Amino acid sequence: MKILVAVKQVAALDEDFKIRADGRDIDADYLIRDLNEWDDFSLEEAMRIKEAANTPGDIEVVAVSVGPASVDESLRKCLAKGADRALRVWDDAIEYSDPIAIARVLAAVTMREAPDMLFAGVQSSDHSFASTGIATAAFLNWPHAAVVNMLNYTPGAKTAVLRRELEGGLLQELELQCPAVLTIQLGINTPRYASLRSIKQAAAKPIEMLSLADLHLVANDVGESGSSSRVRRMYLPEKGRAQLIEGDVATKARRLAEIIKEFRGQT
Amino acid sequence: MVATTTRILFETFGATEVRVFYAFGWAAIAAFAWGVYVQIRKYRRGAALTLEGSLWARSRAMISMVLSHRSIDRRDAAAGAAHRLIFYGFTLLFIGTATITLQYDFLEPLFGIRFWQGEFYLIFSLVLDVAGIALIAGLIHMMIRRGWMRLPKLDYARPDRSPGDPDFDRPQYRREDWAFLWTLVIIGSTGYLLEGARLVWLQGRPDVWDTRWWSPVGAMLAAGFQEVGLNAGGAAMLRHGLWWFHGLLALAFIALIPYTKVKHIFTASGSWLARDALAAQRLPRIADSAAQPGVAKITDFNWKQLLNLDACTKCGRCHEACPARAVGAPLSPRDVILSLREFAHATLESGVLPDAAELDVHGKGPGQVSMETLWSCRTCMACVEICPVAVEHIPIIVQMRRKLVEDGAMDPLLTKTLQTIHKTGNSFGESKRKRGAWSKALPFTLKDARKEPVDVLWFVGDYASFDPRNQKVSQTFATLMQEAGVDFGILYDGESNAGNDVRRVGEEGLYEVLATSNISALAAAQFKTVVTTDPHSFNTIKNEYPDFGGKFEIQHYTTLTRELFRNGKLRVTRPLKYRVTFHDPCHLGRFNKGYEAPRELLTLLGCELVEMGRCRANSFCCGAGGGRIWVPDPVGVEKPAQNRMKEAAAIPGLEVYVVSCPKDLTMFEDALKTTGLEGKFVVRELIELIREAIPA
Ligand code: SF4
Ligand code: SF4
């Protein structure tokens, strides 16, 4: 039995970042990379299911990520936390893929691995599309549930019982056919700590590389041509023009009158 | 006549009686030997450890400590004096008895040598009589401490268990203490009675009777016996009975040594012999071959640690000194040691080793240590420093924490902090690039020691780099150095958290990453000496980096500034007339004995220094050590820093509470507010006082 966990290496902004020359992303020099926070929870959920089983050895937790070599660091973290295997899919053609194209890749990996469950995070902290997991379910034509904050599942079972967070504090309890795709919400568990020692040991474990060909995909399935959206530009909005007027009432009134005049171009 | 005077041993005993006595004697020796074997087998079940340094030097240090009783005198001179009486009394009596055996059972039958007579015997009698008095006096003092003075440190109630828990106050320890004291008192006093009875019995023999005042206590008792009408015949019977009672009790005592607290005679000496003078300052590395980090099972402790457990005499000094215990945290270093001792006793003394599952020392069961207890420790070293028998608590606690870290069994805030440090190299989660940003406010440019050689490389540390309040102190220190004409620089973002506290949390892997990164940054720079304003960084760079190949000359800023004053580079122009007290930071004081420089500086500045009761080696931790600065203490209960503020507030007219550690500044300024003592006095970093005394 197998649980596949799709993870992403996200980027966080360092101090004083710069926008890339083409204006569509941040200059990579200014990004600090780490495993997406949501994925910490979905991996933990898979690990817990494995550890709670009667024979944990029969359950395989496989982490998969789509990305360049730098992503290995995040996959190592998954291995350090106990994942049995790690897969990384990359091809230069994948650059500029949107979540739909990534989902196409993930669906192909899922077909190849044939897991009993696919977990993904609700969203990624950098781009926040919240669609990769669900789009993967669509490609697979599998049942899915989003924003899962409680899960009751025994590997091999035909169904899983889970709870979802809805708007307005509502909760929904759901019974779902397996295999299925679940996007996992923060707080469903407490992710374990990957000690540096375990990360170092994980460095010795192999990360399996998959190419597009391995997944029976072609370059057109991914990248901009395989995507349904494309980033036009990324920018910081201009600073707001609010200002705080200080002083006594008379000063404030005078200043306010001035501003109104300035605004109307009367000065 | 005097020349043949000697001790009467088996006179009037029938041959069978003597044989019976020897049978008991051999049985006692056999029981003793078996007990010793079981104990040694227990220690050998611990992990291997090779001691550093020569055995000769170690033995000399141990013997000097045992004979001088220095460690027992500390902070409790009365206990030291009483123990000294017991120790020397017991030792002399033991040597006396051993000499009798030596002559009676070996030298005389084998070689016909008799030395134990005449004047030698008489002087011997006198010495032993005095020794007996010393022994009994010491024992009685110990009884008074337990029974009447009821010293709180001798109360075995534990802060980490609640009443009702079978392990709560360990009444069996109390019983054992009393049994031990009484047994020795009875052995000692029956010895005297025996002596008195013997004298009355043999009053007709001039060689015995005329020399009786060489055993004055016996002689007095003999006079007393005669007074109440005991005659020679009665005395003979009394002596006979007492002889057996005294003899058997003494043999039983010997037989029981390895099974009772009496074994501290050997275990405490062994503990001193194996002592590591840097136990707290330089934590052990994890061998690359180790299957898992830290201690999970009792057998993961090394033999010396298992010996340490048995050396503990329950004196309670560490219990008394522990800041965590003082504020009611579920930790007493004494109880950690005693729990593990009970655990080792229960699991490692039988012929076969139990299953691995039964050797797990983590948890809440009998003898196990809970994670709440382990996480309460601030690795302040107060326990290690005061222990009279060289128990090294900190490596024991940290090695257990290493296992907790590996399992992720820690406060989520701590997990976050460790992840943050891994990601950014600092505990503030700030960008690496901003590490030197505080220096932008200076009117001059701080040299970048990565790019140009400097005389002094200043290792700034996390708090002094990122905490806004401490950044001000850093700016002041930089200005002072500049004014004193020191050629200095910093590593900017080449510096990472030094790792001292990360290591004490038990995250050894992360520590290695930090240490090696700093070591390579330091090694790539050109400088003569390192200075740091942070005692935590000071400790690890000085004592621990060498184990990772980083040998750098380093000093704390207090010694460097003292130097600058001494050679006139800095001069006080406006003496301060403050009444101050000084808080010794754990890592500067206890850890590295930097007691004098800050005090000399305060005197130089013109301050009047009034010491707190707990100062120097007994300084009271601010509560921030061992990673506890990253995990807030529970609300509603007193924090160590608050406890300290109250202590300082008791100094009449105190104006400034002086610290010389960034974490102290943070902790105490906060505690001053929360204790409502704000306005009574202020907390200042010594650097700020120096600035005040040398107005720019
Ligand atoms: S190091 Fe300090 S806090 Fe920890 S047990 Fe010892 S005395 Fe207590
Ligand atoms: S560990 Fe040392 S200081 Fe603490 S109670 Fe035992 S002997 Fe005393």
Cβ neighbours, 10 Å, residue B692: 16
Residue A76 Cα distances to A33, A34, A72, B339, angstroms = 13, 11, 6, 38
Question: Taking the domains of chain A in order of start, what are their residue ranges?
Answer: 2-226
B173 shares a domain with B284: no
Answer yes or no: do B356 and B395 share one domain: yes
Longest dimension (CA), chain A: 81
Cβ-in-10-Å burial (0-12, 13-18, 19+) of B221 comes to buried
Sheet harboring B682-685: ordered strands across? B608-609, B579-582, B656-659, B682-685
Q: Mind telling me how many Å the CA of A81 is from chain B's nearest CA?
A: 10
> Contact A193/B410 with Cβ under 8 angstroms?
yes
B110 versus A103: which is more confidently predicted?
A103
Residue B507's pLDDT is 97
Mean pLDDT on B18-34: 96
> Hey, is the C-beta of A239 within 8 angstroms of any chain B C-beta?
no
Chain-centroid distance, C-alpha B236: 51
**How far apart are the C-alpha atoms of B314 and B337, rounded to whole Å?**
9
Q: Does the structure show a pLDDT above 80 at A242?
A: no
Asked if A197's CB is within 8 angstroms of B286's CB, the reply is: yes
Residue A44 has pLDDT above 60, yes or no: yes
B507/A contact by beta carbon, under 8 A: yes
Select from B345, B343, B349 the least CA-distant residue to B361: B343
ipTM of this predicted complex? 0.82
Give A226's Cβ-side CA count (13 Å radius): 21
pTM (2 d.p.)? 0.92
Q: What is the 3-state secondary structure (H, E, C) of chain A?
A: CEEEEECCEEEEECCCCCECCCCCCECHHHEEEEECHHHHHHHHHHHHHHHHCCCHHHCEEEEEEECCHHHHHHHHHHHHCCCCEEEEECCHHHCCCCHHHHHHHHHHHHHHHCCCEEEEECCCCCCCCCCHHHHHHHHHCCCEEEEEEEEECCCCCCEEEEEEECHHHCEEEEEEECCEEEEECCCCCCCCCCCHHHHHHHCCCCCEEECCHHHCCCHHHCCHHHCCCCCCCCCCCCCCCCCCCCCCHHHHHHHHHHHHHHHCCCC
Q: Which residue has the tokens 């933990």?
A: A44
| CB B668, CB B642: distance < 8 Å | no
A190 touches chain B (CB under 8 A): yes
Q: Residue A30 phi/psi, 5° resolution?
A: -100, 15
Helix (H) or strand (E) holding B666: helix B662-674
ω before A179 within 30° of 0 (cis)?
yes
List, for residues B419-468, the tens digit of each pLDDT value.
999 999 999 999 888 999 999 999 999 999 999 999 999 999 999 999 99
Q: Report the share of chain B in percent with pLDDT over 70.
A: 99
- CB-based contact (8 Å) between B568 and chain A? no
Q: For position B1, what pLDDT does the model report?
A: 40
B384 & B310 share domain: yes
Instruction: Tell me the pLDDT band of B263, cut-offs 50, 70 and 90.
Output: very high
d(CA A58, ligand 1 centre) in Å: 44
Q: Do B470 and B615 share a structural domain?
A: no
What amino acid occupies position B570? L
Residue B55 lies in a domain: no
Confidence of residue B13 (pLDDT cuts 50, 70, 90): confident
Mean pLDDT for all residues in chain A: 93
Tell me chain B's radius of gyration from C-alpha atoms.
31
Q: How many CB atoms lie within 10 A of CB B493?
A: 19
Q: Which of B416, B419, B496 to mutate to test the interface with A (most CBs of A within 10 A)?
A: B419
Dihedral, CA atoms, A165, A169, A170, A175, nearest 10 degrees?
Answer: 20
Question: Which band of pLDDT confidence, cut at 50, 70 and 90, is reported for residue B586?
Answer: very high
Among A14, A197, A199, the residue with its CB nearest the CB of B431 is A14
For residues B336 and B459, state if they share a domain: no
Can you give the pLDDT at residue B556? 98
A-B contacts at Cβ under 8 angstroms:
43
| Residue B110 vs residue A76, higher pLDDT | A76
Q: Which of B406, B412, B424 sits opposite A197 (nearest CB)?
A: B406
- Give the integer Cα–Cα distance in Å for A137 and A135: 5
CA B383 to each of CA B283, B312, B321, B380: distance values in angstroms, whole numbers, following the listed order: 15, 12, 6, 8
Count of domains for chain B: 4
Instruction: Tell me which residue in B410, B431, B509 faces A196 most closely, judged by beta carbons.
Output: B509
Instruction: Show the domain range for B189.
Output: 2-46+65-259
What CATH number has the domain bearing residue B494?
3.40.50
User: Can you tell me whether residue B554 is helix, strand or coil?
Assistant: strand
Question: Is B254 in the same domain as B124?
Answer: yes
For residue B448, give the 3-state DSSP assignment.
strand
CA A198 to ligand 1 center in whole angstroms = 28
Q: Is residue B593 part of a domain?
A: yes
- Cβ neighbours of residue B528 closer than 8 Å, sequence gap 6 or more: B455, B456, B553
Distance in Å from the first CA to the final CA of chain A? 76
Note whether B216 and B306 are same-domain residues.
Answer: no
The H or E element spanning position B33 is: helix B15-44
* pLDDT at residue B659 greater than cutoff 60: yes
Q: What are B627's two structure tokens?
A: 């990673």
In chain B, which residues have their Cβ closer than 8 Å to the Cβ of A190? 412
* Structure-token match 């290792």, residue found: B459
Which of A15, A195, A196 is the closest to B433 by Cβ? A15
B396–chain A nearest CA distance, Å: 20
Q: Would an 8 Å CB–CB cutoff place B510 in contact with chain A? A: yes
> Which residue, among B435, B11, B360, B420, has the nearest Cα to B201 in the 3D structure?
B11
Q: Do B405 and A195 touch (CB under 8 A)?
A: yes
Burial status of residue A244 (CB atoms within 10 A of its CB: 0-12, 13-18, 19 or more)? exposed
Q: What is the 3-state secondary structure (H, E, C) of B313-350?
A: CCCCHHHHHCHHHHCCCCCCHHHHHHHHHHHHHHHHCC
Residues from chain A that touch B422, judged by Cβ atoms under 8 A, are 196
Closest by CA to B270, choosing from B33, B48, B65, is B65
Q: Residue A209, CB half-sphere, CA atoms under 13 Å: how many?
A: 8
Residue B54: band (very low, low, confident or very high) from pLDDT cuts 50, 70, 90: very high
**pLDDT: is A29 or A87 the higher one?**
A87
Please identify, among B534, B565, B596, the residue that sits at the C-terminal boundary of a domain: B565
Which of B411, B415, B465 is the mutation pick for testing A, counting most A CBs within 10 A? B415
Output the six-digit token pair for B596.
């004098």
**Who contacts B657 (Cβ-Cβ below 8 Å, separation ≥6)?**
B580, B581, B583, B645, B648, B668, B672, B681, B682, B683, B684
Which residue among B225, B259, B293 closes a domain?
A: B259
User: Could you tell me if B99 and B195 lie in one domain?
Assistant: yes
Classify residue B288: in a domain, yes or no.
Answer: yes
Task: State yes or no: pLDDT of B12 exceeds 80.
Answer: no
* B6 shares a domain with B104: yes
Ligand nearest to the CA of B624: 1
Length of chain A equals 267
Mean pLDDT, chain B, integer: 95
What is the residue whose two structure tokens read 């590593």? B491
Mutation target for A interface from B406, B440, B517: give the one with most A CBs within 10 A.
B406
B431/A195 Cβ within 8 A: no
Is the CB of B510 less than 8 angstroms away from the CB of A195? yes
Q: Establish whether residue B401 lines the binding site of ligand 1, counting it when its CB lies within 6 angstroms of any ligand atom.
A: no
Is residue B181 lining ligand 1, measured as CB closer than 6 Å? no
Question: Rounded to whole angstroms, what are the CA distances from A6 to A39, A98, B536?
Answer: 8, 15, 41
Interchain proximity B509–A195, CB inside 8 Å: yes
Both B472 and B605 in one domain: the answer is no
Q: B622 CB under 6 A from ligand 1?
A: no
Question: Tokens 């705080």, residue?
Answer: A244
Residue A16 has pLDDT above 90, yes or no: no
> Which chain B residues touch A197 with a CB distance below 8 Å?
286, 293, 406, 508-509
Residue A155 is encoded by which pair of tokens?
């590997």
Rounded distance between C-alpha atoms, residue B354 and residue B345, angstroms: 12
CA-based torsion, A92, A96, A101, A106: positive or negative: positive
To the nearest whole Å, the CA of A13 is away from the closest chain B CA by 9
Whether the per-residue pLDDT at B3 is higher than 60: the answer is no
Give pLDDT tens digits for B462-490: 999 999 999 999 999 999 999 999 999 99
Same domain assignment for residues B140 and B16: yes
Instruction: Look at residue B54 and tell me if it is in a domain.
Output: no
Query: Which of B317, B332, B377, B393 to mutate to test ligand 2, by most ligand atoms within 8 A of the CB atom?
Result: B317
Torsion sign across C-alpha atoms B137, B143, B149, B153: positive
Helix (H) or strand (E) holding B500: helix B500-505
Q: What φ, ψ does residue B373 adopt, rounded to 5°?
A: -65, -50
How large is the average pLDDT for residues B35-63?
96
Residue of A nearest to B292 (CA): A197
Q: What is the pLDDT of residues B609-621, one digit of tens each?
A: 999 999 999 999 9
**Beta strands A60-66 and A117-121, pairing class:** unpaired
Task: Specify the 3-state DSSP secondary structure of B222.
Answer: helix
B400/B337 Cα distance (integer angstroms): 12
Q: Do A15 and B408 touch (CB under 8 A)?
A: no
Q: What is the pLDDT of residues A141-162, one digit of tens each?
A: 999 999 999 999 999 899 999 9
**CB atoms B406 and A16 under 8 Å:** no
Is the pLDDT assigned to residue A133 strictly greater than 70?
yes
The domain that holds B120 is classified in CATH as: 1.20.950
- Taking the C-alpha atoms of residue B17 and residue B22, their distance in angstroms, rounded to an integer, is 9
Q: Is the confidence at residue B74, as pLDDT, over 50?
A: yes
Is there a single domain that holds both residue B661 and residue B534? no
Compute how many other C-beta atoms are within 10 angstroms of the C-beta atom of residue B28. Answer: 19
Report the greatest alpha carbon distance in chain B.
101
- Are the beta carbons of A115 and A2 closer than 8 angstroms? yes
SS (H, E, C) B114-161: CCCCHHHHHHHHHHHHHHHHHHHHHHHHHHHHHHCCCCHHHCCCCCCC
B267 occurs within a structural domain: no
Q: Calculate the alpha carbon distances from B613 to A66, B616, B621, B651, B653 in Å.
A: 63, 9, 13, 10, 16
Q: Is A29 on the interface with B (CB under 8 A)?
A: no
Q: Which residues from B are below 8 Å from A192, CB to CB?
A: 407-408
**Helix (H, G, I), strand (E, B), or coil: what is residue B90?**
helix
User: Which of B151, B156, B263, B387 to mutate for ligand 2's pocket (most ligand atoms within 8 Å of CB)?
Assistant: B387
Between A233 and B117, the higher pLDDT residue: A233
Closest atom of ligand 2 to CA, residue B315: 8
For chain B, give the number of residues.
696
Q: Give a three-class secondary structure readout of B91-102.
A: HHHHHHHHHHHH
CB contact under 8 A, B509 and A200: yes
The predicted pLDDT at position B132 comes to 96
> How do residues B297-350 score in pLDDT, each as one tens digit?
999 999 999 999 999 999 999 999 999 999 999 999 999 999 999 999 999 999
Q: Does A34 touch chain B (CB under 8 A)?
A: yes
Residue from B635, B642, B630 nearest B669 by CA: B642
Residue B575, both tokens? 């003496």
Instruction: Write the pLDDT tens digit of every residue in B115-164.
Output: 777 888 899 889 999 999 999 999 999 999 999 999 999 999 999 999 98
Residue B327 lies in a domain: yes
In this structure, is residue B53 part of a structural domain? no
Pocket of ligand 2 (CB under 6 A): B 312-319, 333-334, 337, 386-389, 391
B550, pLDDT greater than 80: yes
Among residues B231, B259, B287, the one where a domain terminates is B259
Class of domain A2-226: alpha beta
Q: What is the pLDDT of residue B10?
A: 74
Q: Closest by alpha carbon to A202, among A74, A103, A106?
A: A74
pLDDT tens-digit map of B495-528: 999 999 999 999 999 999 999 999 999 999 999 9
DSSP string, B472-488: HHHHHHHHHHHHTT--E
pLDDT band at B4 (very low <50, low <70, confident <90, very high): low
Exposure string over B254-291, b if 16+ CB within 10 A, otherwise e: bbbbbbebbbbebbbbbbbbbbbeebbbbbeebeeeee
Per-residue pLDDT band for B260 (boundaries 50, 70, 90) equals very high
Place of tokens 């996200």: A10
For A195, the closest of B406, B424, B434 (CB atoms) is B406
